[in-house]
Chains A and B, each alone.
Chain A
Amino acid sequence: MSLSKDRISAIARKEFFHIIYDFRTLFIIFLMPVVQLIIFGYALNLEIQRVDMAVVDLARSTQSRKLVGQFSGSKFFRPFFYQGRLDDLEDLFKSREAKVAMVIPFDFERKLQNETSVQVQFLVDASDANAAILIRNYCNQVIMDYNENRGVKLPLPFDLRSTILFNPELKSSHFFVPGVIAMILIMISALLTSITISREKETGTMEQILVSPVRPLEIISGKVIPYIVLAFLDAAVILLVGLVVFKVPFKGSLFLLTGLTVLYILTALSLGLLISTQARTQQVAMMMALLITLLPTVMLSGLVFPIASMPKLLQYLTYLIPARYFLLIVRGIMLKGSVFSQLLGPCFFLALLTLILLGVSVKRFNMNLER
């Protein structure tokens, strides 16, 4: 029952020709990640800068000017004075002229000097909830800076000073480059393997192979090997663009990342195999592969949204997403310099997932032949 190296290589060689003759697909495979990197790296920027802020200064005093100055001095805000009626302030939000408004009361200076506290009103446009939270936090920050400048020492029980590790500038690209590697790898591996197998079913060539002495496991190995190489090259391209264009740091071992990337590619290919045992046509395979890989990976892997902030039920669901583990691995190695012993957990789960997927799909593959 031994596998024949020659037969596997005959299949792998043929598969390799399919890949290199299909320029368009090849072009997409290598261009898509670059486009995605640019979209995620530049457009999907979670930092907020130069927010338009309407200022209603009823005090018109030295101190209120100073407060406004504090805001213009920060890179987060672009304050402008609003002269209209207070009741019409809402229109500024509706016409998107401002995302936040600050109302300084007329007795600002007097209260500041005579009393312990004075209230300044902030109105934040929360139609984008995440942005609103960020804007509020930035406002607090600026107000704190203002108070500090005035020499006010608040009697705080303790002082909170956080140091941001691993990505001190809080750059989104550092967060997204590993994410894009995880997403592209699973999409390409699962999509291409499921298509290549269902194509053979569709054109009848699978039948022709099955009447030959080739064993199912030889077919699977032969078909999968070229895609491991392809996915791997793709990962290298993404990594290179990430390091060169986005200057993402690389703290850990490249060797370790290489090994674990192969593991992740195997997971994705097994998923593709499983899909191909279900799909009869290329169309169906493509739809299934995209549905299973794209959305869950983007939404549930921690690529964009932190898993910890999801409802409990969805958090359990994330255990089924291969990208969840690979993201821990790739972010750990690149940004934190994690070593293998620190990544045992995700590696174990990824290996387990691969074994299950592979086992089920090989079994189903054999079963399909006997129908």
Chain B
Amino acid sequence: MPEISVKTENLVRNFGSFVAVNQVNIEVYQKEIFGFLGANGAGKTTMIRMLCGLLKPSSGKATVGGLDVYRQSEQIKRSIGYMSQKFSLYEDLTVEENINFYGGIYDLNQKRIQKKRDEIFFSLGMGDYARTLTYDLPLGFKQRLALGCALLHDPRILFLDEPTSGVDPKARRDFWEIIHQTVALGTTIFVTTHFMEEAEYCHRVFIMDAGKIIALDTPTKLKNRYKKKSMQEVFVTLVEKQQEKKTNPMPDSNDKMS
């Protein structure tokens, strides 16, 4: 049995009377790419924010890297990386200054930052860009720089919240290549997406609707179970089934309501 990286038991998060995450149980293993699918408002972002320590759960248990999210959020923060769809970079600063800053807030010393910086520039083939304003970078580069910054402190678990929104297919494929390399080095990847072809790259996927798990398995098994050729079709079938089950449709909610 592989080591467990993230585990939740009956995890719940309410916003007022609205239940964003409803009794979720998952186990994510070390060195796994764990994909997290769902329509907007399904509770993906809420889930990630709870695991990263940005949001307190309403009830239930959750551990990240064996650490409790209620009591050990400080230690959790040291061992995780996070990258959101916004590519949280400072566009008015240079590439180098961004890297220095993110290295600085993780207490990395100058030597380590220097080394990491060279690694990022080398692996992204962007050596010439050190003194370029981040604003002037092509979107694909921004995305990879954001990823580089999230990996500066060698996190054991990396959370990616829709990391490929808005970039072109070529950049998206390059991005996934880096993800695979990162996993090979021992990092667990927890990724949300609504691109179904990306779901195929994941070891296991987890589909959520209205705060609840509706499927959790490997992409191959899911496709076989529902006799579909692609994850796209699996997803649509599952979500439609859910819609039929509902006697009272859920209110239209927004994923970013926190």
Contact = CB atoms under 8 A, between A and B. Distances in A.
Interface of A: 4, 6-7, 9-11, 13-14, 17-18, 21-22, 203-205, 207-214, 369-371
A210 B92 contact: no
B98 to A, nearest CB: 9
Interface stretch (B50-58, B117-125, B229-237): B50-58
Contacts of B78: 213
Contacts of A18: 90, 92-93
Interface in B51-107: 52-56, 74, 77-78, 80, 82-84, 86, 88-93, 97, 100-107
State the main secondary structure of chain A at its contact with B.
Answer: helix
Which 3 A-B pairs give the minimum distances between C-beta atoms? A10-B104, A204-B86, A208-B88
Nearest to B258: A371
Given A10-B101, A17-B97, A212-B105, A205 B53 contact: no
Contacts of A203: 86, 88, 90-91
B196 to A, nearest CB: 25
Given A22-B92, A204-B88, A205-B90, A211 B97 contact: no
B84 A213 contact: no
Contact of A207 (B74, B84, B90, B104): B84
Contacts of A10: 100-101, 103-105
B93 A14 contact: yes
Given A13-B104, A211-B77, 4 more contacts: A6-B104, A17-B92, A208-B82, A208-B84
A87 to B, nearest CB: 69
A29 B213 CA distance: 53
Contacts of B56: 370
Which of B80, B101, B149 counts the most A-chain CB atoms under 10 A from its CB? B101
Contact of A212 (B77, B90, B92, B258): B77
A211 B90 contact: no
Nearest to B74: A213
A13 B101 contact: yes
A6 B100 CA distance: 12
Contacts of A11: 101, 104-105
Of listed B54, B55, B90, B103, residue having the most chain A CB within 10 A: B90
Nearest to B80: A211
Nearest to A205: B88
Contacts of A4: 107
Contacts of A212: 77, 102, 105-106
Most buried by B among A6, A10, A22: A10
Contacts, number: 79
Contacts of B93: 14, 17-18, 21
A7 B90 contact: no
14 contacts: A6-B104, A10-B105, A14-B97, A17-B93, A17-B97, A22-B92, A203-B86, A203-B88, A207-B86, A208-B88, A211-B52, A213-B77, A213-B107, A371-B55
B136 to A, nearest CB: 13
Contacts of A370: 55-56
A210 B258 CA distance: 15
Nearest to B49: A207
B132 to A, nearest CB: 13
Contacts of B77: 211-213
A204 B55 CA distance: 15
A205 B74 contact: no
A9 B102 CA distance: 12
A99 B55 CA distance: 68
A10 B54 CA distance: 21
A197 B86 CA distance: 17
A351 to B, nearest CB: 31
Contacts of A369: 54
B90 A6 contact: no
A307 to B, nearest CB: 42
Contact of A21 (B52, B92, B159): B92
A13 B73 CA distance: 26
A59 B159 CA distance: 97
Contacts of A210: 54
A213 B100 CA distance: 16
A224 B258 CA distance: 26
B187 to A, nearest CB: 15
Contacts of B53: 211
B82 A14 contact: no
Nearest to B88: A208
A188 B80 CA distance: 37
A187 to B, nearest CB: 22
A272 B90 CA distance: 21
Contact of A14 (B55, B84, B101, B149): B101
A21 B141 CA distance: 22
Nearest to A210: B54
A7 B258 contact: no
B154 to A, nearest CB: 14
Contacts of A211: 52-54, 77, 80, 82, 159
A206 to B, nearest CB: 8
Interface string B162-187: 00000000000000000000000000
Given A21-B92, A213-B78, A204 B84 contact: yes
B74 to A, nearest CB: 6
Nearest to B153: A212
Contacts of B105: 7, 10-11, 209, 212-214
B201 to A, nearest CB: 24
B71 to A, nearest CB: 14
Contacts of A213: 74, 77-78, 105-107
